[in-house]
Amino acid sequence: MSSENKEAAAPSDFIRDIVEKHVAEKKYPQIHTRFPPEPNGYLHIGHAKSICLNFGIAHEFGGICNLRMDDTNPTKEDVEYVDSITEDVNWLISGWASQNLGLKSKGKTPDTSTSNGKPDFHLAPAFGSAAVPAAAASPGPEPSKRDAPETGALLEPFYASDYFDQLYEYAIALIKKGQAYVCDLTPEETDEYRRQAKESPYRNRRVEENLDLFTRMKNGEFPDGKRSLRAKIDVTSPNVWMRDPLLYRIRHAEHHHTGPKWCIYPMYDFAHCLSDYIEGITHSICTLEFEVHRPLYDWILENLDLPRPLPHQYEFARLSLGYTVMSKRKLMQLVNENLVSGWDDPRLPTISGIRRRGVTPEALRNFAYNIGITKYNGITDVAVLEHAIRDDLNKRALRRLAVLRSIKVVLTNYPEGKIEELDAINNPEDPAAGTRKVPFSRELYIEQDDFREVPPPKFFRLKPGGEVRLKYAYIIKCDEVIKDAGGRIVELRCTADLDSKMGGATANRKVKGTIHWVSAAHAIDAECRLYDRLFTEAEPEKDGRDFKTVLNPHSLEVVTAKCEPSLKDARPELRYQFARLAYFALDKDSTPGKLVLNRTITLKDTWAKDARKG
Ligand code: ATP
Ligand code: MG
């Protein structure tokens, strides 16, 4: 594989400008970001944008970034998702920002030098931990047993649920200050009261009563929905999030990480800002829909009288990509209704699907860097992603000869039993990749598309009576078309110009077309899965349409390709270009006895061509 693939230069945007200013001012001892997914599904390419932003900032400014499971809702979350998220983040940052990953381990001190010479490991919790009320007496996140890895191997993520004890103590602190109360309205009533800017009749409960009821909520005395803890802020605020929002609710449910310990769970808004604080996050970066939550984020931190500095929230526009759907809820629908083969179906925009398809982390990071960070929501053209993938694969892919839909060619003037080993270039972009031998013989396969009995104008491939060059080999001429009883073409009888091979007398003779081929006797079969866009429309949900009505029925086609024999040694970490066709990567279903390859992307943008054709 080529080592020439360069990482895109660090971009500049409004968030990085802010961070840069803070670094210059020495506002914080160290920049500390986090990526906080909820483990309620697999990560998608939108999350990749956020991962590249948060880890990118840590990487560029000598900081650290925590991977934190935002796991406050026990009924929707699962360890399967925790594991897949950890794997996906690790895959995306490995060898790039893995040295900037926040560590829970307090064991061995890892290598502290980075390319920019700044320290890059930091042991969380940072300054935030000092501020936990004494009563909490919680040790904070469990120190990891694992040592820091040599080269960014899998590390344990942080969990918001590890802070449940501390969060509970923070809630008690707010109650004691008269800034939180236990409310007996039902969830529906609470919503209605907040909509109408009405005070709850329980708003003015005494502190002692609130403390007693909250303790009993925690002890499991009440059923789900019976009571809640709410912040006492301002029910008439123009920002509904400030209208006495819920801080805790009752959920008698086991949690994937804390087990049966809790039956009250903190709400996102309460848990998130405090988790940021506990971990010493300086820049809490999230998508635009959280902008309206920011006053609440600040209110909670400020009203707990925590030692400064406090983390600050910054918002950017989420990624929306053409020809796909993004939210975990919708992706789950596709998975659960068997419209795709699983979360890692190569047609999905999930990180695991994209990885399985054969896209490299470098390509995904370059894409994330290229699209930039703004404050404006919009749809990114999928061509931008496809360009990043082609650009990356062009540099690294090993070229191979393979025929996806074959038609037999017999060279009538080529000796039977003769085999030539021809030299073929592995990667014209990377001379170090060298050459290999490809066997040539009397019977070959070529692509059905490379022959036309009745050719359209300017068809420079093979036609009756016409000539074409076989890549790395001879010029051939089609003399005869053999058909079966049904009129289907089964074989082409051709003659080769036996002097036209490289070094031969007629080697420089010009013919307009060059096509690829495989020696029939030497060909090995491979199942090739040809993927296309999952939807036929750029905006599957436009005007409220059900996205399932515009699924592309041709998003997967499976063919048995005839491949040059060297592909029997295909390796999962390598990428291949089938000459003139597409890029391929080995699928996890591949076995030594049966090759299975995924088409990552075609060489050219066939959609743009089709669109031009109208
Ligand atoms: P989804 O709707 O897909 O479930 P989410 O926002 O609920 O997305 P989280 O697990 O909460 O998913 O997201 C973790 C982080 O990733 C958050 O900071 C969120 O803002 C960010 N994120 C989620 N979707 C996108 C996206 N499309 N583009 C950029 N960042 C995103
Ligand atoms: Mg969500």
Place of tokens 């990180």: 351
Report residue 147's pLDDT band, with 50, 70 and 90 as the boundaries. Answer: very low
* SS3 call for 353: helix
Residue 5: the pLDDT is 52
What pLDDT was estimated at residue 131? 40
Contact 531/346 with Cβ under 8 angstroms? yes
Catalytic residue among 198, 318, 461, 493: 318
Q: What is the mean pLDDT of residues 261-283?
A: 98
pLDDT band (50, 70, 90) for residue 8: low
pTM over 0.85: yes
At a CB cut-off of 8 Å and minimum separation 6, what does 492 contact?
Answer: 407, 408, 409, 410, 446, 451, 462, 478, 480, 481, 482
Catalytic site residue from 34, 104, 294, 328: 328
pLDDT digits (tens, 9 = 90+) for 28-39: 999 999 999 999
Annotated active-site residue 38? The verdict is yes
pLDDT score recorded for residue 149:
41
pLDDT-derived band at 6, boundaries 50, 70, 90:
low
Mean pLDDT across 99-107: 75
Closest residue by Cα to atom 10, ligand 1, is: 37
At 128, is the pLDDT very low, low, confident or very high (cuts 50, 70, 90)?
A: very low
* CA 88 to ligand 1 center in whole angstroms: 14
Which tens digit of pLDDT belongs to each residue from 152-161? 445 789 999 9
Residue 309 DSSP one-character state = P
- Which single residue is written with the structure tokens 């932003």? 53
Q: Which of 13, 43, 44, 47 to mutate to test the pocket of ligand 1 (most atoms within 8 A of CB)?
A: 47
pLDDT band, residue 10 (cuts 50/70/90):
confident
**Residue whose tokens read 């506002």:** 27
Cα angle, residue 390 at apex, residues 388 and 392 outer, rounded to 5°: 70
Q: How many percent of the chain have pLDDT more than 70?
A: 89
CA of 502 to the centre of ligand 1 (A): 56
Mean pLDDT of 391-396: 97
pLDDT at 135 over 60: no
Task: Give the pLDDT of residue 609.
Answer: 54
Assess whether pLDDT exceeds 90 at residue 322: yes
The partner residues of 320 in beta bridges, in order of sequence, read 379
318 lines ligand 1 (CB under 6 A): yes
User: Average model confidence (pLDDT) for the chain?
Assistant: 91
DSSP state of 251: -
Centroid of ligand 2 to alpha carbon of 312 (angstroms): 21
Q: Is the CB of 370 under 6 A from ligand 1?
A: no
Smallest-distance ligand from the CA of 54? 1
How large is the greatest C-alpha to C-alpha distance in the chain, in angstroms?
Answer: 102
pLDDT at 408 over 70: yes
Expressed in angstroms and rounded, the spacing between residue 371 Cα and the centre of ligand 1 is: 17
pLDDT digits (tens, 9 = 90+) for 486-529: 999 999 999 999 999 999 999 999 999 999 999 999 999 999 99
The Cα–Cα gap between 519 and 522 comes to 5
SS3 assignment for 76-128: CCCHHHHHHHHHHHHHHHCCCCHHHECECCCCCCCCCCCCCCCCCCCECCCHH
- For 335-387, write each residue's pLDDT tens digit: 999 999 999 999 999 999 999 999 999 999 999 999 999 999 999 999 999 99
Q: Whose C-alpha lies nearest to ligand 1, atom 18?
A: 286
Using 50, 70 and 90 to split pLDDT, how confident is the model at 254? very high
pLDDT tens for residues 185-239?
999 999 999 999 999 999 999 999 999 999 999 999 999 999 999 999 999 999 9
DSSP track, 401-426: -EESSEEEEEETTSPTT--EEEEEES
Could you confirm whether 396 is annotated as catalytic?
no
Tokens of 155: 């590390």
